[in-house]
Amino acid sequence: MDSTLGIVQSADEVTQGTRSGEEFVALFDAHGAVLLATLRRLCGNSHDADDLLQETAVRVWRSFDRRPWLRSPRAWLITIAYRTFLDNRRRDRRREVAQPAEIVDYRTEPPERRAERGEEVLRVNQQLDALSPEIQQVVALHYLGGLSIRQTAAAMDVSIAITKNRLHAALKQLRKALE
């Protein structure tokens, strides 16, 4: 696994030569970056997101041999990550106010465009931070995590109608604020 995600370096570190260890590493190689981006948006900072990614990996590993047949492994992983986030938030109500790290590589852009993009990102993040926590979570799971509306609703344990309403409210608020 990529050392930036900090999960595991090889299947041998998980278990010596077992197929499930290799599958675990492959699963996190394929979906780890999306999980981390989603957790960063949910947490609001990289430090907590990294910790929750580790905890998510442990939870996935513990149930890896008993996992059901997965039509969408990413949805399964993001659901576990989201529930880990909720459990952590219930345990510890403190929240840091920090902007999530940017994923875009700005080294290839001219300085003027970097400055413009930085201002745009700051405005979007400020508007996202102003949304209610429930709406922020729907946005993170659906847009960052890539879950369908049905998968987002299932992960949050709410109806599809509520999920659609929250997404609509988020887009409406963001459009209005960014005009």
Same domain, 92 and 119: no
40-69 tens-digit pLDDT: 988 888 888 999 999 999 998 888 877 766
pTM of the model: 0.56
How confident is the model at residue 69, as a pLDDT? 67
Question: Which tokens sit at 124?
Answer: 């979007």
Which of 70, 101, 132 lies at the terminal end of a domain, its last residue?
101
Q: Which domain holds residue 118?
A: 111-179
Is residue 151 a contact partner of residue 81, using CB atoms and an 8 Å limit? no
For residue 19, pLDDT over 60 is answered with no
66-85 tens-digit pLDDT: 776 667 888 889 989 999 99
96-133 tens-digit pLDDT: 444 455 555 555 666 677 777 778 878 878 888 888 88
How confident is the model at residue 150, as a pLDDT? 92
Q: What's the full length of the chain, in residues? A: 179
How confident is the model at residue 43, as a pLDDT? 86
How confident is the model at residue 1, as a pLDDT? 40
Same domain, 134 and 116: yes
Is residue 28 a contact partner of residue 56, using CB atoms and an 8 Å limit? no
Same domain, 116 and 97: no
DSSP state at residue 9: S
Of the chain, the percentage scoring pLDDT greater than 90 comes to 18
Same domain, 132 and 83: no
First to last CA, the chain: 41
